[in-house]
Amino acid sequence: MYDLLLFFETVPSSTRSIFLVSGLALFLSLEAIIPLFRMEYKKAKHAGINLTFTLITLIINLIGASLIVAAVDFNKTYQFGLLNMVSMPLWLYIILGLTVLDLIGAWLIHWLEHRVKWMWMFHLIHHTDPNIDVTSGLRHHPGENVLRLIFTILAVLITGASFGLVMLYQTISAFFAALTHANIQFPKILDKPLSWIFVTPHFHKVHHHYVLPQTDSNYGNIFSIWDHVFSTTSHIEMENLEYGIDTHMKPEEHSNIKNLLMVPFQDYRQPVGSKFDE
């Protein structure tokens, strides 16, 4: 266990990049071999849009990395955070650390983005994708990336996580983003039982159904347990799934980078069943 944390604490950025690119290539290959849906779309153009957002994300994350390191150093210097309050076995430290990092750094901000109108306007870009595949997990507005960075730093401070644990969490998080968005068949016999603990491909894809209440459910990133604890789960059969968001179904709205970047600053559109006032 110690060697695992040490590896992620010392692994070069170039190696982490290789992991991410290799994972993307793996799921792109699986999408061609065992697709969940036969979607009629220009995959290269679709990937180009989503990867453009990824490049912007990388720039923001490079800037944010120094802030995360500063939070980790603060924890180490002052023995700050929940994990530093009591002595525990390393395996428990890792499990508790990962689950609480996931709660605050992913589930909580995701839930808030569906509950606070101005946050939703930034997150909306992720939901406009009408063709969910492995690149869709990379489709986030720069404004949303800043929000998620803030909550990641908050999660690091609250947990008191070490740098190795943070890097382990972010690596697992990136893998799950690729897995759960990938357009691949996943055995139902495995998906259902695993979804009680982990976010599985079918569990997350329900979140991308184009109308409420499914849109406002299944917020999990790595662990689905938080959705079960807070009663934010929903279900729909995969054959009835329709991707996108009902307020932005026109191609010029969901497949134009310039428009997508401007969506948070456009007038709010109320979907059927919306909680927000006009």
Could you tell me if residue 224 is inside a domain? Answer: no
Diameter of the chain by CA atoms?
55
Residue 16 lies in a domain: no
Total tally of structural domains belonging to the chain:
1
Examine residue 126 and state whether it is found in any structural domain, yes or no: yes
Whole-angstrom Cα distance, residue 114 to residue 186?
27
> Backbone phi, then psi, for 243, in 5-degree steps?
-80, 160
Secondary-structure percent of the chain, ordered helix, strand, coil, rounded to 5? 65, 0, 30
Establish if 222 belongs to a structural domain: no
Cβ-Cβ contacts under 8 Å for 116 (sequence gap 6 or more) = none
What value does the CA radius of gyration of the chain take, rounded to a whole number of Å?
19
Determine the number of helices (DSSP H) and then strands (DSSP E) in the chain.
13, 0
Q: Is residue 36 part of a domain?
A: no
Write b or e for each residue in 157-186: b if 16 or more Cβ atoms lie within 10 A of its Cβ, otherwise e.
bbbbbbbbbbbbbbbbbbbbbbbbbbbbbb
* 120 falls within a domain: yes
- In this predicted structure, what is the pLDDT of residue 258? 94
Q: Identify the residue whose tokens are 């109308």.
A: 211
Residue 125 within any structural domain of the chain: yes
Range of the domain at 170: 43-187+253-265
What is the full per-residue pLDDT of the chain (278 aa) written as tens digits?
Answer: 778 888 888 888 778 778 888 888 999 999 999 999 999 899 999 999 999 998 888 888 888 889 999 999 999 999 999 999 999 999 999 999 999 999 999 999 999 999 999 999 999 999 999 999 999 999 999 999 999 999 999 999 999 999 999 999 999 999 999 999 999 999 989 999 999 999 999 999 999 999 999 999 999 999 999 999 999 999 999 999 999 999 999 999 999 999 999 999 999 998 877 777 65
